[in-house]
Amino acid sequence: MAAEISTSINIKEPRWDQGTFIGRAKHFFTVTDPRNILLTNEQLEKAHRIIQDYRKGVVSPGLTEDELWRAKGEKMLVIGRMSAQVPMNMTITGCMMTFYRTTPAVLFWQWINQSFNAIVNYTNRSGDAPITVNQLCTAYVSATTGAVATALGLNALAKHVSPLLGRFVPFAAVAAANCINIPLMRQRELKHGIPVTDENDNRLGESTNAAQQAISQVVISRILMASPGMGHLVFATPLCCALFPQKSSMALSRLEPELQEKIRASHPGVERVYFNKGL
């Protein structure tokens, strides 16, 4: 019979050290595992119960530490999960690279891609501020328009270069769309800020500067994620997600002056703040 696992495991944090690239890579290989999208509602509910019980100090009979870590997570819309990134991107990007010569094909696949991106960006946003339907629609329409305009413009230029260079048109369009879609989808964070905490997760306030850094890191990761060939997506997705810590940080001196004063008054000694950058 397996020994009962300890009730002192900190499941609030990832299993591996997020201060190292290797630790972050291990974490995101788990998060982006495509097999996770095959989990049934019953399996997700069971996992939820395991975590809820564990937080109360109750350990399910026979539960192993590996099973405990696998149970951690939140139930999300299937195609919005990071585990859907690889199969969805392989399909969509593959089609964009194959059907890029005609205007209808460009319009259709960029629309499909931005619809998928809108769902992913909304599902994996940082912070706890809600986004309105109007903001959601604005981000979606703006990103799709930007991607299509870029793709059509580059397609016109690509007629004068080799077919090999023409294959890079979808990537350029996706990169441009990410620069538009993600900031717009998370515009409320840019306007109102995201929660910043001390190293012990005590909330200190909301910072727009932290939101800017978080969103910039996500944009860079998403662009690099789209750059490899389709056969490399299985590795590119978790490795690009791991480029920056999920729990990012910045010096107190880089926050807005008024927030700096507030934190120094209420939490003297704090010199660095932490925040969730989102995905």
Q: How many domains does the chain have?
A: 2
Residues 202 and 265 in one domain: yes
Tokens 């932290």 label which residue? Answer: 210
Q: Does 15 fall in a domain?
A: no
In a domain, 6, yes or no: no
- Is residue 173 within 8 Å of 150, Cβ to Cβ? yes
d(CA 233, CA 174): 15
pTM: 0.67
Residues 184 and 70 in one domain: no
Is 10 a member of any domain?
no
Which of 53, 75, 97 marks a domain boundary?
Answer: 75
For residues 255 and 263, what is the distance between their CA atoms, to the nearest angstrom? Answer: 10
Same domain, 31 and 68: yes
Q: Give per-residue pLDDT as tens, 30-57.
A: 888 888 888 788 888 888 888 888 888 8
Same domain, 141 and 262: yes
Are residue 138 and residue 236 in the same domain, yes or no? yes
Within this chain, do residues 98 and 216 fall inside the same structural domain, yes or no? yes
Q: Are 211 and 127 in contact (CB under 8 A)?
A: yes
220-266 tens-digit pLDDT: 887 887 665 546 666 777 777 888 888 888 999 999 999 999 999 99
Could you tell me if 146 and 206 lie in one domain?
A: yes
Percent of the chain surpassing pLDDT 70 = 87
Rounded Cα–Cα distance for residues 220 and 241 (Å): 10
Q: Is residue 59 part of a domain?
A: yes
CB atoms within 10 A of CB 258: 9
* Residue span of the structural domain in which 55 resides: 21-75
3-state helix, strand, coil in the chain (%, to 5): 65, 5, 30
Regarding whether 266 and 149 lie in a shared domain, the answer is: yes
Instruction: Reduce the DSSP state of residue 59 to 3 states and report it.
Output: coil
Domain boundary among 55, 75, 95: 75
Name 253's Cβ contacts closer than 8 Å, sequence gap at least 6.
260
